[in-house]
Amino acid sequence: MTISRPDGRFLVSRPAHFLALGLGAGLAPKAPGTVGTLVALPIYGLLTLSGSALLYWLAVAAALGIGVWACGATSRALGVPDHGGIVWDEIAAFLLVLPFAPQDVPGFLLAFALFRLFDIWKPFPIRWLDAQVHGGLGIMLDDVAAAAYAVLCLMGVSAWM
């Protein structure tokens, strides 16, 4: 069975769906991946309140690992390999990028633009990963690769400034 458009009932039917659909962001009628990426910003703010880099990176690792499970389960339930409403991959991957951005509004906007650019454009090996690695791992992995490109660009900007 294929569900073309998940709804609120599907969202709350299982914890995996709630997470994979980005706490509801994946239900956005337009640009759910972009909306999902924005959800990472308040999560980043909450995760950095402790001031502990170790706790931050442990939380991000957990988000990535749990995302493999949640995105895979939700993908199977929707009957679509990588449904557009599944946005936890954008959220978790953008959490990889944010610590490398200048910690101000222009820096966050640059990080957002770079991450979305690479997530949409999918330069090598992102497109290859997207086509070759399936299930929850595949859903998460192409966004992690997009995050790596964005981090490299941010590091380059930081070195240049």
Per residue of the chain (161 residues), give pLDDT as tens.
567 789 999 999 999 999 999 999 999 999 999 999 999 999 999 999 999 999 999 999 999 999 999 999 999 999 999 999 999 999 999 999 999 999 999 999 999 999 999 999 999 999 999 899 999 999 999 999 999 999 999 999 888 87
- Decide if 2 is inside a domain: no
Q: What is the pLDDT of residue 5?
A: 87
- Decide if 102 is inside a domain: yes
Closest alpha carbon to 117 in 96, 85, 90, 140 = 90
Alpha carbon distances (Å) from 139 to 68, 86, 136: 7, 9, 5
- Decide if 96 is inside a domain: yes
- Decide if 1 is inside a domain: no
Structural domain range at position 64: 8-160
- Decide if 3 is inside a domain: no
- Decide if 56 is inside a domain: yes
Q: What is the pLDDT of residue 74?
A: 97
Q: What is the pLDDT of residue 2?
A: 67
Cα–Cα distance, 8 to 43 (Å, whole number) = 22
Give the count of domains, the chain: 1
